[in-house]
Homo-oligomer: A and B are copies of this chain.
Amino acid sequence: MNDVARAAGVSLKTVSNVLNDYEFIRPATKQKVLDAIAELGYEANLTARSLRSGKSRMLGLVLSDLSVPYYAELASRLMSIATGRGYRVLVEQSGAEAAHELSALQGPFRQLTDGLLFTPLALDAGTIAARQGTKPIVMLGEHITDPRFDLVTMKNSEAAAAITAHLLAGGRRRIAVLGAAAGDTTDSPGLRLNGYKQALEAAGVEFDPALVVQCDWRRDGGASAVVGLARSGVRFDAVFGLNDAIALGAMHELLIRGIKVPDDVAVAGFDDIDEARFASPSLTTVSPGMEEIAERSIKLLIDRIEGAEPAAGGVHVEAGFELKVRDSAP
């Protein structure tokens, strides 16, 4: 910047002013500076700017694992949207472990970013509140529902109820739910299970805890849940995977066992990841409005970062959902 100033015959600060669109600069001066910048190929040093301003124009994104398709798709959109707003996204994988989540919340990662998009899975609201620091945080997902925080979530119960109702409307009465424990009432598993129960009740179908199978929210989780169901001899005519990965893994296992989908057993998922459309048969699922979640959460976070207003209590955003009826449960 010194060189530019010398080349343009102005002071250091004038160059800085040009770069920052300071109001009172004579067009001629501005042009001289811009010419010098172009000629020297000067680019402002972001680190120094960051040190001086205390801002990095980076947003932190904490999620369990980027190789999970839902998170990969979410991260991709968040990054694109942030770019449009002049921010970058720095991703941190927590592996859903409390220690990692805590270090993302407090450690160097936090220092590097102006605000956090946080998908906590292990930490509780109290711990987070105690260590949240001063920079803005927007919570993604359902693990935290404490109204003190800014929250961006999806309509878990409603969407789960809608897809369950769809299965019921198709004549299914024994709908296995994969990915929750029968007693769950919170977090994504609990909320989605609640929606399932509500839909059953609305249809006058009795809830059978034997149809609720806990498993990892991954393809192999869904597969082994089906193995477990088969082994236990429980009868079922539909499977509702609490996310698409579970549903796809379950469907895989069903087909291997010669069970026809959807003729013998209908399969439904949750998330509408890209893969769902191209599964065989294509997967009926519910799209939780990822685009809306991505846009609203970035906007909310950046508004907090740039806004003068002191966090006026938590804002709660709930994205809409859309049922995607496909071949696995027509």
Contact = CB atoms under 8 A, between A and B. Distances in A.
Interface of A: 43, 45-48, 50-51, 56, 65-67, 69, 72-73, 75-77, 79-80, 88-91, 93, 107-109, 111-112, 219-220, 223, 248-249, 251-252, 255-256, 274-275, 277-282
A138 to B, nearest CB: 20
A88 B48 CA distance: 19
Nearest to A278: B219
Contacts of A88: 90, 109, 112
Contacts of A45: 51, 111
Given A80-B93, A252-B280, A66 B72 contact: yes
Contacts of A281: 255
A77 B67 CA distance: 8
Contacts of A43: 107-108, 111
Contacts of A251: 280
Copies of this subunit:
2
Given A219-B277, A275-B275, A73 B80 contact: no
30 contacts: A43-B107, A43-B111, A46-B108, A46-B111, A47-B56, A47-B111, A65-B76, A66-B76, A66-B79, A67-B69, A67-B77, A67-B274, A69-B69, A69-B275, A76-B93, A80-B93, A88-B90, A88-B109, A88-B112, A89-B91, A219-B275, A248-B275, A251-B280, A252-B279, A252-B280, A255-B280, A275-B275, A279-B279, A279-B280, A280-B280
Contact of A67 (B56, B72, B255, B279): B72
A80 B90 CA distance: 14
Contact of A48 (B51, B93, B220): B51
A111 B47 CA distance: 9
10 nearest CB pairs, A to B: A72-B72, A67-B76, A219-B278, A66-B76, A255-B280, A67-B73, A47-B51, A252-B278, A47-B50, A252-B280
Nearest to A220: B278
Contacts of A56: 47
A47 B111 CA distance: 9
Contacts of A107: 43
Nearest to A55: B47
A163 to B, nearest CB: 21
